[in-house]
Amino acid sequence: MAGEAVKSVRRLPKDEPGIVDARWLPDDEFKNSWGSIFLPNDEKERLARSAASGIVLRAQIDFEKLPLHGIVLLLGDPGVGKTTLARGLADRLARILKSLGGFAYVEISSHGLTSAFLGRTQRAVETLFSQTIDELAETGPLVLLVDEIETLATDRSRMSFETNPADVHRAVDAALVGLDRLARRHRDVVIIATSNFPDAIDSALRSRADFVYTLPRPGAVARRAILSDTIAALAAKFPKVAGLDRPATLKNAVAASAGMDGRQLRKAVAAACAMRDETATDPNLLTESDLIQAIKLLNTSS
């Protein structure tokens, strides 16, 4: 009841430039996102503990003594699950720190803040951080996801004023100032940033990150878990598909899928349904041959 009372007072931002999602945490959809990511060893939970301990430490120790910005930077190739992990991490964090009350979640698309008109990008960034996000953070804990952060915090050392307008440089400055303001004013805000291009990120942002994690392409153990998880989801609606979860079938599928990322693996299970006319209308008829053939076709074309 107390959490619902807080939500009734807090207001999520809607229809703001750059904001593509806003919701309350915990959230069951994001809990499923967390469960769909498979990382080596205990790395997923270690990431969650690091973010949670950062909030606890920031609440007790002065910024000058312990300059934590509450920024988690997730790097990796397209398809490895950065955004999915980020959403799941937001939910996991809200559950670990449930004593703080309900968390708000806001997701930003960096591309949504850029503009072809000089001056507008900088103003959009300043408004977002100094007004929209700052006002929401005033009322309680918040997780802010900034997808494709390299678009918003481009490496200024690689830019020239001849090829990049001054507005781009100013927008990067505005983003860094906004992040610094959030870190100092609101100790219960976590910013999760993702990027496919780590070399394109401004060094000033990287230095502010409390935790940097590069998601690997899934190894054999992770590929097996992803395939098993996807088959189970399909079998929930088409029960006979569960037969594909046999050890021998998974072993062959894992061998055929070497080098594939998580997104490709899940799409391969869907592609298997289109291998024959019969399976296209009834996935219950899927066979190991369908699955292996689909994996090989996608792996060859990628």
Interatomic CA distance for residues 5 and 17, integer angstroms? 28
Reported as a pLDDT band with limits 50, 70 and 90, residue 136 is: very high
Between CA 70 and CA 163 the distance in angstroms is 33
Task: Count CB-CB contacts under 10 A for residue 180.
Answer: 15
Rounded distance between C-alpha atoms, residue 297 and residue 302, angstroms: 9
Name the E strands within 206-285.
211-214
Q: State the pLDDT at residue 62.
A: 92
Asked whether residue 2 carries a pLDDT value surpassing 70, the answer given is no
Helix, strand or coil, per DSSP, at residue 1:
coil
Confidence of residue 257 (pLDDT cuts 50, 70, 90): very high
String of DSSP letters for 74-125: EE--TTS-HHHHHHHHHHHHHHHTGGG-PEEEEEEEGGGG--SSTTHHHHHH
* Residue 225, pLDDT score: 97
Q: Is the pLDDT of residue 3 over 60?
A: no
Of the pLDDT bands very low, low, confident and very high (cuts 50, 70, 90), residue 157 is confident
Q: Which of 302 and 204 is assigned the larger pLDDT?
A: 204
List the Cα angle 109/161/208 in 5-degree steps.
Answer: 50
CATH class of the domain defined by 2-214: alpha beta
Tokens 């806003």 — which residue?
22
* Beta strands in 115-272, from DSSP E residues, in sequence order: 142-147, 189-195, 211-214
* Arithmetic mean of pLDDT, 264-268: 97
pLDDT band at 118 (very low <50, low <70, confident <90, very high): very low
Task: Name the residue among 113, 116, 118, 104 with its Cα closest to residue 178.
Answer: 113
Separation in Å, CA 217 to CA 75, 212, 223, 260: 11, 16, 9, 7
Each domain of the chain, given as residue ranges in start order, spans: 2-214, 220-301
Q: How confident is the model at residue 287 (pLDDT cuts 50, 70, 90)?
A: very high
What's the CA gap between 239 and 284, in Å, rounded?
7
Residue 185 one-letter amino acid: R
- State the pLDDT at residue 111: 76
pLDDT digits (tens, 9 = 90+) for 15-67: 787 899 999 999 999 999 999 999 999 999 999 999 999 999 999 999 899 99
pLDDT for residue 165? 56
pLDDT, the chain, mean: 90
Write out the E strands in the chain. 19-25, 71-75, 103-109, 142-147, 189-195, 211-214
Q: How many Å apart are CA 180 and CA 163, to the nearest integer?
A: 28
Instruction: Return the percent helix, strand and coil in the chain, to nearest 5.
Output: 60, 15, 30
Which tokens sit at 128? 């977002």
Cα 253 from Cα 239, distance rounded (Å): 20
pLDDT digits (tens, 9 = 90+) for 163-196: 555 667 777 888 888 888 888 899 999 999 999 9
Higher pLDDT, 99 or 159: 99
Q: Among the listed ranges 49-53, 169-173, 202-206, 261-265, which one has the minimum average pLDDT value?
A: 169-173
